Amino acid sequence: MKGSALKFNPAIDLLRALAEPTRCRLLALLSQGELTVGEIAEVLGQSQPRISRHLKLLSDVSALERFREEQRIYYRLTSGTKAAVLVAQVLAHLDDADETLLADRRQLVLVRDRRVRNVSAHWADVRRSAESTYSDAQLVRDVLKTVFDRNEDDSLGELLDIGTGSGSMLRVLGGRATHAVGLDMSTQALRLARAKVHGAGLNHCVFKRGDMYELPFPAGSFDAVSFDQVLSIAEKPGQALKEALRVLKQGGRIIIVEDSDRLAELAADKPQALLRRWLERSGMQCDKLKALRTNDRQLLLGLASRQ
Ligand SMILES: C[S@@+](CC[C@H](N)C(=O)[O-])C[C@H]1O[C@@H](n2cnc3c(N)ncnc32)[C@H](O)[C@@H]1O
């Protein structure tokens, strides 16, 4: 084959795009989670136009995915493609102890911390409340014990956390999923969740803006769906559960954590009865309801499955 024909070979194009120091730095950085061009430029200490050119080159050969969240453009590594396999191999060849890569990682921690500090007062409140809930190590153990019963090596498979907020449920359950998506309507929440969840090393979790009443996923996409203190503040909890059921695979499970006092304010029933009714009316089988106590609150954990 003539050299000129090889120019159009996607594998050659991909290898060419990867074979450049700044682009290897970008891949190493994005292996730590989803980032905006501004954040990447800040970490690398280079101008945004320069970074954008490299990002475009990597996106053109499908090494990266680009997506928009309101006015912000994010990048992440592609997954499940041939390009993703090659990128993973290149990443495996990079030296973890390389001074430049270490400095980039240190800088990324600072950029993420700033992101968390800059969220609006409302989201800072959500973050504090979520952090105080799950800073109780016994509660985290109780949640895991209830969800996994005696099968501690069980995996949640593909997990969707709806109304992810600051991503606290993903920090509890994400490590047990092969892949996870945190969904929220609020871009501020998603910025916070990215900083917290990716900052905790859970880089296989991705985030997506969307509405729980119209989930942006085909039917049967997930093995598990979680709602952490979302249904009791939802206008239509039954409809949110029906939509969750649609994206669950057959045999898939739903994990719900709710504040018992908030549930009690919604109905004359006991919190357990209300949660069971929501689940059963939306067509799910309620498998377990367990009261969990944390620092200053009483929580209710519900497990259900799609039959
Ligand atoms: C009380 S917070 C949950 C906090 C979260 N679990 C945490 O620990 O940080 C409720 C979350 O649901 C999100 N939410 C509300 N309505 C929504 C909708 N229709 N679709 C998606 N998310 C929604 C809010 O933006 C918020 O992040």
Q: In terms of DSSP bridges, do strands 72-77 and 64-69 run parallel, antiparallel, or are they unpaired?
A: antiparallel
> Is 56 near ligand 1, meaning CB less than 6 Å away?
no
Supply the residue whose CA is at minimum distance from atom 4 of ligand 1.
165
Ligand 1: distance of its center to the CA of 192 in Å? 12
* Beta-carbon count within 10 A of 143 CB: 22
> Is 185 near ligand 1, meaning CB less than 6 Å away?
yes
Q: Which residues of 168-201 are buried (b: 16+ CB within 10 A; e: fewer)?
A: bbbbbbbbbbebbbbbbebebbbbbbbbbbbbee
> Is 165 near ligand 1, meaning CB less than 6 Å away?
yes
Residues of the chain with CATH 1.10.10.10: 3-117
> Is 133 near ligand 1, meaning CB less than 6 Å away?
no
Identify the CATH assignment for 121-305 out of 3.50.50.60, 3.40.50.150, 3.20.20.140, 3.90.1530.30: 3.40.50.150
Ligand 1: distance of its center to the CA of 211 in Å? 10
pLDDT in tens, the chain (307 residues): 444 555 568 888 899 999 999 999 999 999 999 999 999 999 999 999 999 999 999 999 999 999 999 889 999 999 989 899 999 999 999 998 999 999 999 999 999 998 888 877 777 777 777 777 888 889 999 999 999 987 777 899 999 999 999 999 999 999 999 999 999 999 999 999 999 999 999 999 999 999 999 999 999 999 999 999 999 999 999 999 999 999 999 999 999 999 998 898 887 778 999 999 999 999 999 999 999 988 778 999 999 999 8
Does the pTM surpass 0.85? The reply is: yes
Supply the residue whose CA is at minimum distance from atom 17 of ligand 1.
185
Q: What tokens appear for 230 in the block?
A: 């979302």
Supply the residue whose CA is at minimum distance from atom 14 of ligand 1.
163
Identify the CATH assignment for 3-117 out of 3.40.190.10, 1.10.390.10, 1.10.10.10, 3.60.70.12: 1.10.10.10
Ligand 1: distance of its center to the CA of 267 in Å? 21
How many angstroms separate the Cα of 155 from the Cα of each of 37, 159, 170, 181?
34, 10, 14, 15
Residues of the chain with CATH 3.40.50.150: 121-305
